[in-house]
Copies of this chain bind each other. A is one copy, B any other.
Amino acid sequence: MGGSAAAAGKSVSGGGRAAPRVPVPEARPFLDTFRANLKETFFPDDPFRAVVRERGFGRRAAAALRYFFPFLEWAPAYRLGTFKSDLIAGITIASLAIPQGISYAKLANLPPILGLYSSFVPPLVYAMMGSSKDLAVGTVAVASLLIGSMLGAEVSPTDNPALYLHLAFTATFFAGVIQASLGILRLGFIVDFLSHAAIVGFMGGAATVVCLQQLKGMLGLEHFTTSTDLVSVMRSVFSQTHQWRWESVVLGCGFLFFLLLTRFFSKRQPRLFWISAAAPLTSVILGSLLVYFTHAENHGVQIIGNLKKGLNPISVTNLQFTPPYMMLALKTGLITGVIALAEGIAVGRSFAMFKNYHIDGNKEMIAIGTMNILGSFTSCYLTTGPFSRSAVNYNAGCKTAMSNVIMSLAVMVTLLFLTPLFHYTPLVVLSAIIMSAMLGLIDFPAAVHLWHVDKVDFCVCAGAYLGVVFGSVEMGLVVAVAISVLRVLLFVARPRTTVLGNVPDTNVYRRMDQYTTARTVPGVLVLRVDSPIYFANSGYLRERITRWIDDDDERTSAKGETGVQYVVLDMGAVGSIDTSGTSMLDELKKTLDRRGIQIVLANPGSEIMKKLDSSKVLELIGHEWIFPTVGEAVAECDFVLHSHKPGMVSGSATRENMV
């Protein structure tokens, strides 16, 4: 047995009663505390550790460069074997990126070619600045839909296509600026306030809404509602049943079935990932050939039409920084930027976890933000790291961000030479591609899991889902964030207090609702507070503690036992306290004094002791009534109760044995 374990079995040596048992820590200079708190708040992961560790300016500058441009880290050691893996992965994701890019651009009511532009520049930027090895950069369905619905609410993409396009670039620019600023200002934790449950519900709802929007393409409808909610879409669909085109429906359902089937196979056999990865491009090729040979475009099957050849035109001069549209772009950028960021970070983190490397959230934000800013200068719209594409990238065996470069080059070749091939691609195939991707985002098992583990989380999830499906995407987001924040506030406002009881024949105190063997000590009520004490809960805690005492008095007086004489508050779980909290203890002490009850504190942390001392509450309660453990506190109470001598008594062998 090792040292500490061998020592166990003995107990605290006590050390007399002369010195207070729980020391008040020495005051630290304000600036020291302030700096430490600032660091803990904004730099909890100590990101510059690698830079600070180096000696000399040159080495530090090199380390800083490596920090901001992670490709400098892996590029020098890049080998042919790694390149082979990245080449395969890059080509695979390119075959997915091209049809998805075109589809999602349609979802945002933008020209299809923008989807290709957006898969060219941003991946190159990310490859240099991003720290994830698995993230495949591209546009995403939910953000595309949101851009479409938010911008479309004020500017019509059909009546004023140029303005609409420029606003999309401006929104992307703002999204990038906001993303990068969040990273630079170390505010990445704001994204954490979108809880997992909220994201599951929100994504599921958004996927449902996106699928519903595809009914337009699937049914070959010319006119469609601009709303995204279930009721409007259903009314729009069933009010024009005579417009449904069977050619479109058959083609769409056929391809959807094909895509779902390949997905099913790939899921069963992860080795066959390439089947589902190649399926969209295959569908596009098959669909285009079919239309080309059958001239189905003349029979109600809508096609993409002309796509301009050539690389991204410069769009930096198109950004709109003048009212009245700037605010619209800013709002759109803010909301879509945060959502896209949340997805990108979450995806990056998941894959980093699988491969056991570290991702710096704030640095990722800077990378994603920069890629969107540069994207907005070169005719790209909002990009991030979509889950589906990154999963394909991961399964295809990518090793570094080089796979993004390969994808980018493949898209470049497509832009330069292959765009005419997409002329005959039927829109219904794009709808099928979107639907099959979206159905994978509705995570029903996750919702069931939430229901089993935590009902409140399930409510957050359901609220977000219903908000998106029956309201709008923005409303779903607001509902999700509001329920999440309300939950935090409720958590904080209604902390748990539990009665502790003594485990017979020991000096251990445990929660009475959990450990059935625990017994109360006559005359002593031991309460445990499970949260920091501050303004949001101090009123509640005062009332709740008083109620525990009333309950106990009622119970004991019914049995004719001794009433409560001592209330021992186990402060072990109280992480911090503010001035409202110290006033609460002050008030509680005075109220209990009038009832002839002594308040005793057990196990307060150093910060608590400091605050109690500076607010004079320590003096009021008396330093001798503060103990390092509940056992010692109760022993002292019990001793005084039975010796009928109030106040302090010098240490006895029995009490010195307490833990």
A-side residues, CB < 8 A to B, are: 1-13, 23, 25, 30, 33-34, 40-41, 44-46, 189, 192-198, 353, 356, 358, 361, 449-450, 452-457, 484-485, 487-496, 498, 502-508, 510-511, 513-515, 519, 521-522, 530-532, 534-540, 543-544, 546-547, 572-576, 578-580, 582-583, 587, 590-591, 594-595, 605-607, 609, 611, 614-615, 628-629, 631, 634-635, 638-639, 641-642, 654-655, 657-659
Contact = CB atoms under 8 A, between A and B. Distances in A.
A353 B534 contact: no
A9 B578 contact: no
A203 to B, nearest CB: 15
A535 B196 contact: yes
For the complex of A and B, 7 pairs with smallest distance between CB atoms: A195-B535, A530-B575, A573-B573, A9-B657, A514-B606, A8-B507, A5-B638
B575 A495 contact: yes
B628 A510 contact: yes
B642 A449 contact: no
Given A41-B490, A534-B195, A576-B491, A659 B508 contact: yes
A654 B504 contact: no
A607 B453 CA distance: 11
Contacts of A34: 455
A69 to B, nearest CB: 22
Contacts of A605: 498, 511, 514, 530
A508 B15 CA distance: 15
A219 to B, nearest CB: 38
A538 B484 CA distance: 14
Nearest to A652: B1
Nearest to A33: B455
Contacts of A536: 189, 192-193, 195, 484, 488
A497 to B, nearest CB: 10
A549 to B, nearest CB: 12
A582 B456 CA distance: 14
B45 A547 contact: yes
Contacts of A535: 192-198, 484
B508 A353 contact: no
Given A457-B578, A579-B196, A579-B450, A505 B7 contact: yes
- Name the residue among A3, A12, A502, A534 with the largest chain B CB count within 10 angstroms: A534
A346 to B, nearest CB: 10
A271 B634 CA distance: 43
Contact of A25 (B452, B514, B547): B514
Given A9-B658, A12-B503, A534-B491, A547 B583 contact: no
A454 B30 CA distance: 11
A583 B9 contact: no
B590 A353 contact: yes
A188 to B, nearest CB: 8
Nearest to A635: B5
Given A189-B539, A573-B530, A654-B8, A578 B456 contact: yes
A505 B657 CA distance: 12
29 contacts: A2-B641, A2-B642, A4-B634, A5-B634, A5-B639, A7-B504, A7-B506, A8-B659, A9-B11, A10-B505, A10-B507, A11-B507, A13-B505, A13-B506, A23-B514, A34-B455, A41-B490, A45-B544, A189-B536, A193-B489, A195-B534, A196-B580, A198-B535, A356-B591, A358-B546, A452-B615, A457-B578, A488-B534, A514-B609
